[in-house]
């Protein structure tokens, strides 16, 4: 096996184990044993479990970022944007279940970038700019676009996490319900919302 092939094999084994057991529950010994190599081979390629985990997470972030960016950059009607983004996330989960499980777990190394939450924050920033434009066109307060972007992206992300383990509905049905709530909620927004029942 070439060094490149061995590296890919180690990454595939560790990805599966990190998804099943988490970072803390996975050992270098187990990765080595399931790969049919000695521990020093793992250390030679990645310097340890942390290095291997970082590569796995980076690959998943790149894959998910590519899917979401494609949905966000395609342009068009805002409702179509919500549809594409919801389908992109659910499609990623469907095709990369192990990868998504790894991303939604807490990272073992405190870091500001390269995590699911930082990726979701980046997506919310892109959505914020799009919402601000739409808010201005509808004479709504564009200054509130950032909080609405967080709500919208958070709703999609948390639904994706729920759907990961609750697959009774097809992804297109889940996306349709997400869009139903998001779009019809957004389309009927008031200029000056207030809480009536809380008084």
Angstrom distances, CA of residue 184 to CA of 163, 178, 181, 193 = 22, 10, 6, 16
* pLDDT, tens only, 29-61: 999 999 999 999 999 999 999 999 999 998 988
Look at residue 88 and tell me whether its pLDDT is greater than 80: yes
Look at residue 197 and tell me whether its pLDDT is greater than 80: no
166: which DSSP letter? -
Tell me what percent of the residues of the chain surpass a pLDDT of 90: 47
Tell me what percent of the residues of the chain surpass a pLDDT of 70: 93
Distance CA 100, CA 169 (A): 18
CA dihedral 122, 8, 53, 49 (to 10 degrees): -160
Distance CA 186, CA 126 (A): 17
Q: Could you tell me how many residues make up the chain? A: 199
Q: Do 133 and 140 touch, CB atoms closer than 8 A?
A: no
Residue 13 burial (CB count, 10 A): 21
pLDDT (average), residues 115-120: 80
Q: Look at residue 110 in the predicted model and tell me its pLDDT.
A: 43
Look at residue 119 and tell me whether its pLDDT is greater than 70: yes
Residue whose tokens read 């959505």: 127
Mean pLDDT of the chain, nearest integer:
87
Q: Do 87 and 71 touch, CB atoms closer than 8 A?
A: yes
Entry pTM: 0.80
Look at residue 87 and tell me whether its pLDDT is greater than 60: yes
Look at residue 111 and tell me whether its pLDDT is greater than 60: no
Look at residue 147 and tell me whether its pLDDT is greater than 60: yes
Distance CA 133, CA 129 (A): 6
Look at residue 125 and tell me whether its pLDDT is greater than 80: yes
Angstrom distances, CA of residue 19 to CA of 49, 53, 105, 115, 199 = 14, 11, 9, 15, 46
Distance CA 172, CA 193 (A): 31
Domains of the chain: 58-188 (1.10.357.10)
Per DSSP, the three-state class of 192 is: coil
Distance CA 11, CA 36 (A): 13
Distance CA 3, CA 141 (A): 56
């Amino acid at each position: 096996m070439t060094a490149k092939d061995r590296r890919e094999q180690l990454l595939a084994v560790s990805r599966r184990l990190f998804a099943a057991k988490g970072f803390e529950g996975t050992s270098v010994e187990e990765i080595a044993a399931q790969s049919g190599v000695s521990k020093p081979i793992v250390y030679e390629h990645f310097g340890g479990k942390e290095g291997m985990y970082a590569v796995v997470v980076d690959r998943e972030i790149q894959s998910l970022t590519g899917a979401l960016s494609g949905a966000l950059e395609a342009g068009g009607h805002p409702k179509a944007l919500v549809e594409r983004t919801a389908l992109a996330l659910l499609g990623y989960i469907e095709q990369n279940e192990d990868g998504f499980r790894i991303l939604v777990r807490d990272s073992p190394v405190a870091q500001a970038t390269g995590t699911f939450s930082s990726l979701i924050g980046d997506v919310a920033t892109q959505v914020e700019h799009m919402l601000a434009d739409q808010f201005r066109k509808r004479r709504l307060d564009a200054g509130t676009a950032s909080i609405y972007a967080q709500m919208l992206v958070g709703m999609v992300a948390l639904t994706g996490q729920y759907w990961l383990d609750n697959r009774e509905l097809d992804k297109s049905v889940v996306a349709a319900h997400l869009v139903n709530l998001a779009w019809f909620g957004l389309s009927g927004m008031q200029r000056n919302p207030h809480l009536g029942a809380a008084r």
